[in-house]
Amino acid sequence: MHRPVSRPIPFRHRTAAALCLAAAVLWSPVPASAQQRANLLWLEPGKVDIARIIGLPPAMNSPEQKREFDEVLQITLSRTPEREKAAIADQYQTLARFLEGANIPFAGNEHREVRLLFREAQVELGIVLLGVRRLTSRQRPFTVWNRVRVKPCPGGRPDGTSFPAGHAATAALYAELLTVAAPELAAKFEERVTDYNESRLVCGFHYRSDLAAGDKAGRAVAKALLAERAFRSRFDETKAEIRLALGLK
């Protein structure tokens, strides 16, 4: 059921709901009932067929899988301390970090509606990804033994399946939404997507096909949200504030 545009939920209620959903979706397992409620935030359940859009990862022990492993291995072996530091910083899956890495000033603390809108979109993406992640059990590169091991970046190591890449999906989601609000920065957003994704290879957390699948998923969800009447209305109301948060007029 769609939320009527004419009766928006008060800001303070949306804030509390979005933050609770973000914690549930992004950092812990979500029960079926919570998933259904979260799906109803903006999109109808099943609105985006992510499984069809991204397909399946290469089979374990296949030539393609071996090539992807070798690529990640070489990237991790040749990473510099400077690139490793940036990749570790990119483990933060936030709009602020995404823009900081692109050297785009972001006054997010002064624009709560912007932070909330993008957080809600990210929560929606996380809920959609939950369904497809159950279809695969691809191991992350640093957990696979193939003559030698991939050495991950120091610090926290992600759990769960490697496919699709949630960071890549989030970066694509951000880029699609930001480009609608600030098309003059589209090239910088896309450059940042590439760099943000590369950080996942640098740290040995994902394969190239994980990133491609995540990118497809993030863009599909962003486009579905923008096509949803209630979300688009909210987005258009916030567009001017997004531009201000980016230092634009």
Q: DSSP string spanning 136-197?
A: --PPPGGG-EESEE--PPSS----S--SS-HHHHHHHHHHHHHHHH-GGGHHHHHHHHHHHH
Contact present, 183 and 243 (Cβ < 8 Å): no
Q: What is the pLDDT of residue 110?
A: 87
Of the candidates 204, 198, 194, the one whose C-alpha atom is nearest the C-alpha of residue 70 is 204
Domain that holds residue 147: 11-245
Which tokens belong to 86? 């940036």
pLDDT at 169: 98
CATH code, domain carrying 145: 1.20.144.10
Of the pLDDT bands very low, low, confident and very high (cuts 50, 70, 90), residue 44 is confident
6 in a domain, yes or no?
Answer: no
Residue 157 lies in a domain: yes
Return d(Cα 244, Cα 105) in angstroms, integer. 10
5 belongs to a structural domain: no
Query: pTM value?
Result: 0.85
Distance CA 162, CA 200 (A): 11
Report residue 41's pLDDT band, with 50, 70 and 90 as the boundaries. Answer: confident
Tell me the C-alpha distance between 214 and 192, whole Å: 15
Please write the tens of the pLDDT for every residue from 122-132: 999 999 998 88
Tell me whether strands 145-146 and 148-149 are parallel, antiparallel or unpaired.
Answer: antiparallel
Buried/exposed 35-58: b ≥16 CB within 10 Å, e otherwise: beebbebbbeeebbebeeebeebb
Residue 3 placed within a domain: no
Q: What's the rounded mean pLDDT across residues 180-203?
A: 97
> SS3 letters for 59-127?
CCCCHHHHHHHHHHHHHHHCCCHHHHHHHHHCCCCCHHHHHHCCCCCCCHHHCHHHHHHHHHHHHHHHH
Query: Where is average pLDDT lowest: 24-28, 96-100, 163-167?
Result: 24-28
Asked if residue 26 lies in contact with residue 123, where contact means CB atoms within 8 angstroms, the answer is yes
pLDDT-based confidence at residue 40 (cuts at 50, 70, 90): very low
Query: Who contacts 133 (Cβ-Cβ below 8 Å, separation ≥6)?
Result: 160, 161, 163, 164
Asked if residue 4 is part of any domain, the answer here is: no
Segment 59-78 shows an average pLDDT of 94
- Report how many domains make up the chain: 1
Residue 22: predicted pLDDT = 43
**Is residue 2 a part of any domain in this protein?**
no
> Is residue 170 situated within a structural domain?
yes
Domain annotation covers residue 230: yes
pLDDT digits (tens, 9 = 90+) for 84-139: 999 999 999 999 999 999 999 898 788 999 999 999 999 999 999 988 887 888 99
